[in-house]
């Protein structure tokens, strides 16, 4: 397929393709991190993860509308405010959901699955009633549109770079939180041995709520970031949820590092195959490989070794 | 949950209801006038098959998704059908009878569509069903329509390869939408190479098959790439790189749904300015409705091939747009399918009046040649294959989310659901 192209053209395309793979990687990381820490901590599979992301997107939409109406001078910077708001709104709703619903269902994984799925339907319908069934367009400040012209052929989309930076920041922040803070120590203790952690005085219910809120908050940030590249509508969250589960399960459902490795593997495989095959076939092949590896390693790539 | 949503939608229709009330008053005065002129034909005469027809009303069904993922697309069709029914009632109804409607929710779920269609036909005995949007929902309804001999008025442009005696297709079939636009791209824009890109399901695949045949066999030009992505796909960076490598003159796009938003935003972010027309983007899937979600700044400059644009400059359309906005609010936009849905009740009325009967079998005999001069798209006529003769137009997307019409076929395009040489 490369007949008739000069080597410099090919180099540029490969550079851009590498960038495409990396930006897919950061999208996957953003999607999956929130889900991973919730699952790792509490064994709860949050089927409403996609809807929390869309809540973040709608928060961004409302923030952008607010800035346009009342603070047009600061519109260029509204996105940073929106990200923080998206985190807070989603985390608050997450804490509420944990308190009302999830905490009554611990140790009943199938019931949490159903309950959070029901929650996702309720949230979708709520969006439809509040914002209308049509997708909303989120206006972006001018500086976030367009691309960096690196060479004549190589253009790097600014929003792709931006998503990468957010993903990196959250991954680093999460690492510091989990491995360098008192809260993180408690979380890891609860994950490894809940009764023992409780016996030494860790408030595991409080840790659970904080973790659920944190996971939902990260979903909100992801949703805010995705307004740059995707659609914002009542059922847009559904588009992300399958990939998210794929990444989390493949990575070994409880390991943050595993999630990142798995996101990298899947994104590179997919974007490379997409380049040589049609998009649908690339997806099929990626799924086949993942299924094959999971048959050999049912725990996923990096399972946390825990004594059971 | 479903009920709250219906309440919310009803609420948003409240403006429409007020509008309906005033129309009703108008209708009453009309009816007085017409009662003096001619007695309406007796029910026994116009209804021999047990349809829901009384001496002064006739009941029809509206069957679209107002909940679930397709609600975004189908609500416009519901609004248009209700508007048409209101207007027909205001002008005296059908055979002297006012139209009542029963609305059912297909809930974006194909078995539900079949179930509700059965309910409308068997329990409500409706005289016509205006509904379905996706091909999948139409295919689900089809056996029910044929089993109980109903008549469905289907509004969406679709892939063709179907011709049921129990369906009237008021949107365009694939050849009508595609062929003229490809010819236009080659003749007006000098296009030589084409890149076909679509979502992965029957409509884009069939459309691109037709497009490829036409480009390669009829026009003698080249297709340099053909690519499909799963429904709901949100990452198009690789697709965009492939397009940049192939450097086609025209990207022929049939991406749908949420993927549309992702695709155009990422094209824009990758530094593609569609107004430069290098490459030129020609789509068959982005109506004014979709642009609301994508954002005008992301699609400015693309071309769309449809039979209707809200900006069409003719008296019928101005009246239609004004009535639509009056009923549903000034910020409404009207896309191709919404207009096609509006045609349904009107074409049904014409067929009933020509047949002098509500009976499905009587109406079916009369379809061929029925004209609707007041169509917002200008003029349409029903072909004996139950599709519409209509013009194909090409519009260029503007920053404000409207299309500017840059081309229209001189003649009405003949509907050809089973195109020879294209399969």
- The answer on pLDDT for B398 being more than 50 is yes
Residue B11 confidence (pLDDT): 46
Q: Give backbone dihedrals phi and psi of B99, rounded to 5 degrees, phi first.
A: -90, 125
Max distance between CA atoms of chain A, in angstroms, equals 70
Q: Are B303 and B283 in contact (CB under 8 A)?
A: yes
What residues of chain A lie within 8 A of the CB of B244, using their CB? 13, 16, 153
What does the pLDDT average to over B183-204?
92
pLDDT of amino acid B28: 54
Higher per-residue confidence, A42 vs B351: B351
Chain B, nearest residue to A122 by Cα: B1
Instruction: Count the Cβ atoms, other than its own, within 10 Å of residue A176.
Output: 11
Segment A13-34 shows an average pLDDT of: 87
**What is the pLDDT, as a whole number, of residue B29?**
52
Q: Identify whether the C-beta of residue B284 lies closer than 8 Å to the C-beta of residue B310.
A: no
Least Cα distance to B173 among B135, B216, B229 occurs for: B135
- What residues of chain B lie within 8 A of the CB of A136, using their CB? 292-293
Task: Give the bridge partners for B98, in sequence order.
Answer: B57
User: How would residue B293 be classed by pLDDT, with cut points 50, 70 and 90?
Assistant: confident
Q: Do A17 and B241 touch (CB under 8 A)?
A: yes
CA angle B292, A164, A84 (to 5 degrees): 70
pLDDT tier at B300 (50, 70, 90 boundaries)? very high
pLDDT tens digit sequence for B64-107: 998 776 777 788 999 999 999 999 999 999 999 999 999 999 98
User: Which pLDDT score, from 0 to 100, does residue B24 have?
Assistant: 56
Q: Give the closest-approach CA distance of A85 to chain B in angstroms.
A: 22
Chain B nearest C-alpha distance from A279 (Å): 5
For chain B, first and last CA: distance in Å? 45
Using 50, 70 and 90 to split pLDDT, how confident is the model at B2?
Answer: very low
Which pLDDT belongs to residue B9? 45
Most confident of the ranges A149-158, B48-57, B101-110, B343-352: B343-352
pLDDT band at B22 (very low <50, low <70, confident <90, very high): low
- The percent of residues in chain A predicted with pLDDT above 90, rounded, is 34
A:250-289 residues touching chain B, CB 8 A cutoff = 271, 274-275, 278-280, 283
Q: How confident is the model at residue B39 (pLDDT cuts 50, 70, 90)?
A: low
Give residue A278's pLDDT: 83
pLDDT interval class at B355 (50, 70, 90) = very high
Cα–Cα distance measured from residue A45 to residue B265, given in angstroms and rounded to the nearest whole number: 31
Nearest-angstrom CA–CA distance, B5 and A176: 43
Residue B5 has pLDDT above 50, yes or no: no
Nearest to B170 by CA among B402, B412, B383, B407: B383
Residue B207 has pLDDT above 80, yes or no: yes
Per the model's pLDDT, the better-predicted residue between A269 and B10 turns out to be A269
Residue B20 pLDDT grade (very low, low, confident, very high; cuts 50, 70, 90) = low
- List, as ranges, residues 234-253 from A with C-beta within 8 Å of B: 234-236, 238-240
> What is d(CA A293, CA A154) in angstroms, rounded to the nearest whole number?
35
Strand partners, B63: B104, B131
Q: Give how far B397 is from chain A: nearest CA, Å.
A: 16
Cα dihedral across residues B284, B403, B388, B339: positive or negative: positive
Distance CA A177, CA A172 (A): 9
Mean pLDDT across chain A: 87
Please, are residues B94 and B128 in contact by the beta-carbon 8 Å criterion? Answer: no
User: Strands B280-283 and B250-254: what pairing?
Assistant: parallel
- pLDDT band at B21, cuts 50/70/90? low
Q: State residue A306's pLDDT score.
A: 55
- Quick check: B200 and A147 CB within 8 A? no
Mean pLDDT rounded to a whole number for chain B: 88
pLDDT band at residue B13, thresholds of 50, 70 and 90?
Answer: very low
Q: H helices within chain A, ranges in order?
A: 7-42, 49-70, 78-100, 109-131, 158-180, 182-192, 194-199, 204-226, 237-251, 256-276, 279-296
What average pLDDT score do residues A70-87 get?
89
User: Which whole-number Å values give the CA distances from A95 to A92, B56, B246, B266, in the listed order?
Assistant: 5, 58, 50, 34
**For residue B194, what is the enclosing H or E element?**
strand B193-199
CA torsion sign, A149 to A151 to A152 to A155?
negative
**At B3, is the pLDDT very low, low, confident or very high (cuts 50, 70, 90)?**
very low
The pLDDT assigned to A148 comes to 79
Long-range contact pairs involving A158-161 (C-beta distance under 8 Å, separation at least 24): A158/B269, A159/A228, A159/A229, A159/B265, A159/B269, A160/A19, A160/A20, A160/A23, A160/A229, A160/B237, A160/B269, A161/A23
- Specify the pLDDT at position A19: 87
- Residue B49, helix vs strand vs coil: coil
Q: Is the pLDDT score of B17 beyond 50? A: no
CA distance B228 to A281: 9
User: How would DSSP label each residue in B385-406?
Assistant: TSBEEB--EEEEE-TTSPEEEE
Residue A231, token pair as written in the block? 């659609």
| pLDDT for the residue numbered A215 | 93
Per the model's pLDDT, the better-predicted residue between A8 and B308 turns out to be: B308
Percent residues over pLDDT 70 in chain A: 96
Q: Mean pLDDT, to the nearest integer, of B166-178? A: 94
- Looking up tokens 């008025």 gives B153
A118 vs B: CB within 8 A: no
**Per-residue burial over B174-198, b = 16 or more CB atoms within 10 Å of its CB, e = otherwise:** bbbbbbbbbbbbbeeeebbbbbbbb
Per-residue pLDDT at B10 exceeds 80 = no
Flag the least confident range among A143-147, B50-54, B367-371.
A143-147
Q: Which of A10-19, B52-61, B317-326 is least confident?
A: A10-19
Residue A138 touches chain B, beta carbons under 8 Å? yes
């Amino acid at each position: 397929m490369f007949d008739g192209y000069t080597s410099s053209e090919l180099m540029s395309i490969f550079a851009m393709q590498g960038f495409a793979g990396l930006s897919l990687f950061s999208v996957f990381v953003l999607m999956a991190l929130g889900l991973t820490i919730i699952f790792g901590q509490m064994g709860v599979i949050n089927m409403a993860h996609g809807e929390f992301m869309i809540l973040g997107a709608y928060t961004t939409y409302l923030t952008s509308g607010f800035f346009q109406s009342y603070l047009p001078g600061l519109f260029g910077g509204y996105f940073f405010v929106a990200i923080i708001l998206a985190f807070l709104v989603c985390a608050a709703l997450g804490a509420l959901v944990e308190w009302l619903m999830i905490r009554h269902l611990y140790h009943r994984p199938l019931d949490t699955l159903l309950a959070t799925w029901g929650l996702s339907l309720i949230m979708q319908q709520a969006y439809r009633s509040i914002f209308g069934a049509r997708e909303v367009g989120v206006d972006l400040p001018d500086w976030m549109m367009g691309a960096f012209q690196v060479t004549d052929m190589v253009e790097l989309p600014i929003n792709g770079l931006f998503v990468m930076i957010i993903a990196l920041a959250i991954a680093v922040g999460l690492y510091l939180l989990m491995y360098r803070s008192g809260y993180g120590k408690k979380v890891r203790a609860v994950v490894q041995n809940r009764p023992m952690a409780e016996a030494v005085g860790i408030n595991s219910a409080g840790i659970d709520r904080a973790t659920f809120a944190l996971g939902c908050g990260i979903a909100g940030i992801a949703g805010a970031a995705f307004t740059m590249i995707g659609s914002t509508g009542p059922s847009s969250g559904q588009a992300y949820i399958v990939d998210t589960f794929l990444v989390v399960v493949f990575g070994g459902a409880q390991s943050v590092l595993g999630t990142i490795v798995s996101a990298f593997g899947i994104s590179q495989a997919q974007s490379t195959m997409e380049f040589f095959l049609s998009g649908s076939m690339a997806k099929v092949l990626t799924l086949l490989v993942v299924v094959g590896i999971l048959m050999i390693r049912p725990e996923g790539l990096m399972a946390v070794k825990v004594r059971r | 949950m479903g009920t709250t949503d219906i309440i919310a939608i009803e609420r948003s229709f409240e403006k429409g209801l007020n509008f309906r009330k005033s129309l009703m008053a108008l209708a009453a005065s009309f009816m007085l006038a017409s009662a003096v002129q001619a007695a309406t034909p007796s029910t026994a005469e116009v209804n021999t098959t047990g349809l829901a027809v009384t001496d002064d009303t006739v009941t029809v069904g509206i069957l679209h998704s107002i909940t679930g993922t397709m609600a975004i697309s189908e609500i416009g069709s519901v609004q248009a059908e209700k508007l048409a029914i209101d207007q027909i009632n205001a002008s005296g109804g059908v055979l002297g009878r006012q139209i009542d409607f029963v609305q059912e929710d297909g809930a974006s779920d194909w078995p539900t569509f079949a179930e509700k269609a059965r309910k409308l036909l068997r329990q409500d005995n409706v005289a016509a069903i205006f509904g379905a949007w996706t091909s999948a929902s139409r295919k689900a309804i089809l056996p029910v329509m044929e089993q109980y001999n109903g008549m469905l008025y289907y509004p969406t442009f679709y892939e063709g390869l179907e011709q049921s005696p129990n369906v009237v297709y008021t949107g365009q079939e694939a050849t009508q939408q595609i062929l003229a636009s490809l010819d236009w791209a080659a003749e007006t824009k000098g296009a030589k190479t084409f890149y076909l890109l679509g979502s992965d399901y029957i409509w884009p695949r069939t459309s691109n098959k037709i497009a490829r045949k036409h480009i390669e066999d009829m026009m003698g030009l080249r297709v340099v790439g053909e690519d499909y992505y799963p429904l709901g796909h949100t990452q198009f960076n690789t697709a965009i790189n492939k397009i940049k490598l192939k450097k086609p003159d025209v990207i022929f796009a049939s991406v749908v749904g949420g993927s549309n938003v992702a695709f155009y935003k990422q094209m824009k972010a990758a530094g593609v300015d569609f107004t430069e027309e290098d490459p030129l983007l020609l789509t068959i899937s982005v109506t004014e409705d979709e642009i609301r979600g994508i954002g005008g700044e992301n699609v400015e400059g693309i071309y769309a091939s449809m039979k209707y644009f809200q900006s069409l400059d003719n008296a019928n359309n101005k009246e239609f747009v004004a009535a639509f906005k009056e009923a549903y609010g000034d910020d409404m936009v009207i896309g191709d399918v919404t207009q096609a849905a509006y045609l349904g009740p009107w074409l049904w009325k014409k067929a009933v009046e020509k047949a002098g009967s509500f009976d499905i079998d009587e109406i079916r005999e009369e379809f061929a040649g029925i004209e609707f001069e007041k169509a917002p798209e200008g003029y349409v006529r029903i072909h004996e294959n139950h599709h519409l003769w209509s013009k194909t137009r090409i519009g260029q997307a503007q920053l404000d989310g409207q299309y500017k019409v840059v081309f229209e076929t001189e003649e009405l395009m003949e509907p050809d659901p089973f195109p020879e040489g294209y399969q």
